[in-house]
Chains A and B, each alone.
Chain A
Amino acid sequence: MSDLLFFFEVTLAGLGSGALLSLTALAFVLIYKATRVINLAVGEMLMLGGYLFFAFAAGFGLPAWAAIPLAIAGGGLVGAVVERGLIRPMLGESPIAVFMVTIGLGSILVGLVELIWGTDPRALPAFMGNTPIFIGEAYVSRKIAIAFAVAAVVIAVFLVLFRYWRGGVALRATATDQAAAYSCGINVPGVFSLAWVIGCGTAAGAGVLLGSIGGISPAMGVFGLSALVVVIVGGLDSVAGALVGGLVIGLIEAWAGTYLGGEFKLVTTFGLLLVALMIRPYGLFGTTEIERL
């Protein structure tokens, strides 16, 4: 097999996991834009989604078409509970304190999952089939291709909703100016809840996709770290940044993992993160905060 073809295949695989990163990053940006909360537990929400799917599909024996929506709804429900129970009481506290709350939340979620399902990795019931797909001569794993397609569709739907749906408009208004949105009669607390529900539901969905590719384990939340790199590089409040950043980081991780070795994956991305931060402290597409005396 030619080197070029191999490179092409690696690139396709990178784009596949990049799409998942974009999706996770989108969940993250959604919450950040609406509520200014950095949700470090997004990786754990993703993990929870994988386990919920496992519970519905393997535990209750539900078919995939029922188990997937249930897992997403479960994620959304947890998002709502978290927003009401943990985030809203922190309104007005320093961003760092709220950020730490989400770290604590991540720990709670990991502990709960370990308590219920144990620490061993598990495989999710297959629902995508295994026949590989070929693009030209290049081989792509079917699961990755499906994950890419699903992520792309979901992201497209989101973009449309942002533009035209009332809730999406309210969300953007709140992101731009909370006080103004409030005085225009937008239900700002409602928007906060909505953002958390959608964000956590999205993360749970991404977890189902990720879990069906690589299996689930309580440690799969580290995927959230890569997503974190994506949003920092892209800019915390930039949807475009999440999309582009996700694909770029996915590619870089795939290339670094293949050509340098698996242990180089994280260092490369985090090294790039440092460089990106030094050059553009608010991300490639993020809004610069101006400080005045």
Chain B
Amino acid sequence: MKIGTAKHSYQADEALLTTRPQRLWMGLFALGLCIAPFMLDNYWLYLACLVAINVASATGLNILTGYTGLVSLGQAAFMAVGAYTVGWMQLRLGTPFLLNIVAGGIVAAAVGLLVGLPSLRVKGLYLAIATIAASIILHFVFVNWQSVTNGNSGLTLTPATFLGTPLTDYKQLYFVFVPITALMVLGAANLFRTRVGRAFIAIRDRDISAEVLGISLLRYKLTSFAISSFYAGVAGGMWAYFFRVVTPESFPFVYSIFFLAAIIVGGMGTILGAILGAVFMTLVPELLRFGIDWLTPVLPNAAAMLSPVRTIVFGLLIVGFLIFEPKGLAEIVQRTRRYFHLWPFKK
């Protein structure tokens, strides 16, 4: 394969979607996203919104953990920072929806920078534990900073208004959340076409040689923390407008584990992986609910089993993927793709 030297051919070679089938599928997918709200009932719309929120946050964590190799167990806490920021601005300042969401991201990014500071000295699992510490300290702040967070009773939000319409039902929220998430995913994909993304991956693969090759660890580790928590903050902001109540218990520690699980199951360090993982991990508990509902006539106390079974399946998915498919769902998709090659186009 020899690539011509004309400039436009490099551009084509470095595009996000390089083959015709890829572009076709992406087009179909986008079309599907547009018409889906008109076909889905309220329950599925609810899930679609939740998926959008989780995809945004998982994509952020993937930048930090999957691409930069800095394991964080604090993603939910950063979401909480975004959610509280949005709630506070909405209630106290009455500022517009989009501004609040962006501000939620920025405040979360600032907190993320702070939490990222230990990453300059502490590595690997020690860092993961430092992020647990940060989550616990943040939780303490949420409970005790009464004047801003309203303590344990939390904040209750009014619906967001966007272009003069209050966003009260799931369909409206869908049409706001999905574009925001799509933009964030696109941003993440772009990042890895540039020197910033390459610097992240270099730090993940071998940070000390990366430094000698011209990458400032200080700058890029902190950048990665900031951007990942920005994503979390925006996701948390959407979460706040979605559930409209934010309390210290809204973003428990297991939610952080959930995101780590999502990128593991989906495939760390691939854009597709974070998306697939977040979708999958959000939907599995619902599928289990159907399963249990279906069993109820046979097993009278099946309903009580739902929560433990979800917990078990959650653990089994993490363990199972790590052992049997460490590259996650994204790898399965790649394999399938290779199998069908360029279908439906002939080569």
The answer to A–B direct touch (Cβ < 8 A) is yes
A positions within 8 Å CB-CB of B: 38, 86, 89-90, 93, 95-97, 99-101, 103-112, 114-115, 119, 225, 228, 232, 236, 263-264, 266-267, 270-271, 273-274, 277-278, 281-282, 291, 293
**How many residues of B are in contact with the other chain, CB < 8 A?**
43
- Max chain B Cβ within 10 angstroms of own Cβ: one of A95, A96, A108, A225: A96
Chain B residues within an 8 Å CB radius of A225: 132
**Residue of chain B at shortest CB distance from A108:** B315
Contact present for A274 and B322 (CB under 8 Å): no
Chain A residues within an 8 Å CB radius of B137: 267, 270-271, 274
B31 at the interface (CB under 8 A from A): no
Q: How far is the CB of B248 from chain A (nearest CB, A)?
A: 11
**Residue of chain A at shortest CB distance from B209:** A293
Q: Are A86 and B124 also in contact (CB < 8 A) when A103-B318, A273-B129, A274-B118 are?
A: no
B298 at the interface (CB under 8 A from A): no
Q: Are A108 and B129 also in contact (CB < 8 A) when A115-B305, A291-B208 are?
A: no
Instruction: State the CA gap A119–B310 with chains docked (Å).
Output: 14
Which listed residue, B132, B261, B323, touches A86 by the CB 8 Å rule? B323
**Residue of chain B at shortest CB distance from A282:** B126
Which listed residue, A93, A108, A263, touches B140 by the CB 8 Å rule? A263
Contact present for B125 and A273 (CB under 8 Å): no
Chain B residues within an 8 Å CB radius of A270: 132-133, 136-137
Binary interface profile of B, 311-326, with partner A (CB < 8 Å = 1, else 0)? 1111111110011001
Chain B residues within an 8 Å CB radius of A264: 140
Instruction: State the CA gap A89–B313 with chains docked (Å).
Output: 20
Contact present for A281 and B129 (CB under 8 Å): no
Instruction: State the CA gap A271–B141 with chains docked (Å).
Output: 12
B110 at the interface (CB under 8 A from A): no
Chain A residues within an 8 Å CB radius of B123: 281
Chain B residues within an 8 Å CB radius of A105: 315, 319
Interface of A is mostly: helix
Which listed residue, A38, A86, A104, A273, touches B133 by the CB 8 Å rule? A273
Q: How far is the CB of A258 from chain B (nearest CB, A)?
A: 17
Instruction: State the CA gap A263–B136 with chains docked (Å).
Output: 11
Q: How far is the CB of A47 from chain B (nearest CB, A)?
A: 13
Chain A residues within an 8 Å CB radius of B260: 100, 103
B287 at the interface (CB under 8 A from A): no
B positions within 8 Å CB-CB of A: 71, 118, 121-126, 128-130, 132-134, 136-137, 140, 143-144, 208-209, 212, 257, 260-261, 264, 305, 307-319, 322-323, 326
17 contacts between A and B (CB under 8 A): A96-B71, A96-B128, A101-B319, A104-B318, A104-B322, A105-B319, A110-B311, A228-B132, A264-B140, A267-B137, A271-B137, A274-B118, A274-B130, A274-B134, A274-B137, A278-B118, A278-B122
Chain B residues within an 8 Å CB radius of A90: 322-323
Which listed residue, B126, B140, B143, touches A281 by the CB 8 Å rule? B126
Which listed residue, A89, A95, A112, A266, touches B308 by the CB 8 Å rule? A112
Instruction: State the CA gap A89–B322 with chains docked (Å).
Output: 10
Chain B residues within an 8 Å CB radius of A107: 257, 311-312, 314-315, 318
Contact present for A38 and B315 (CB under 8 Å): no
Instruction: State the CA gap A38–B125 with chains docked (Å).
Output: 8
Instruction: State the CA gap A278–B319 with chains docked (Å).
Output: 32
Instruction: State the CA gap A96–B130 with chains docked (Å).
Output: 14
- Max chain B Cβ within 10 angstroms of own Cβ: one of A93, A103, A277: A103
Q: How far is the CB of B58 from chain A (nearest CB, A)?
A: 15
Q: How far is the CB of A191 from chain B (nearest CB, A)?
A: 21
Q: Are A86 and B312 also in contact (CB < 8 A) when A228-B129, A281-B126, A293-B208 are?
A: no
**Residue of chain B at shortest CB distance from A88:** B323
Instruction: State the CA gap A228–B128 with chains docked (Å).
Output: 11
**Residue of chain A at shortest CB distance from B207:** A291
Contacts A101-B319, A107-B257 given; 13 further ones with Cβ under 8 A?
Answer: A90-B322, A97-B264, A99-B125, A108-B319, A109-B315, A110-B311, A112-B308, A119-B308, A225-B132, A232-B126, A266-B136, A270-B137, A274-B133
Chain A residues within an 8 Å CB radius of B125: 38, 95-96, 99, 236
Instruction: State the CA gap A96–B257 with chains docked (Å).
Output: 13
- Max chain A Cβ within 10 angstroms of own Cβ: one of B125, B144, B208, B315: B315
**Residue of chain B at shortest CB distance from A274:** B133
Contact present for B121 and A97 (CB under 8 Å): no
Chain A residues within an 8 Å CB radius of B316: 104, 108
Contact present for A96 and B124 (CB under 8 Å): yes
Instruction: State the CA gap A148–B313 with chains docked (Å).
Output: 37
Contact present for A271 and B310 (CB under 8 Å): no
Contact present for A277 and B118 (CB under 8 Å): yes
Chain A residues within an 8 Å CB radius of B208: 291, 293
Which listed residue, A100, A109, A274, touches B264 by the CB 8 Å rule? A100
Instruction: State the CA gap A212–B203 with chains docked (Å).
Output: 48
**Residue of chain A at shortest CB distance from B137:** A267
**Residue of chain A at shortest CB distance from B144:** A263
Chain A residues within an 8 Å CB radius of B261: 100, 103-104
**Residue of chain A at shortest CB distance from B212:** A293
Contact present for A101 and B323 (CB under 8 Å): yes
- Max chain A Cβ within 10 angstroms of own Cβ: one of B124, B125, B133, B257: B133
Instruction: State the CA gap A274–B129 with chains docked (Å).
Output: 9
Q: How far is the CB of B48 from chain A (nearest CB, A)?
A: 26
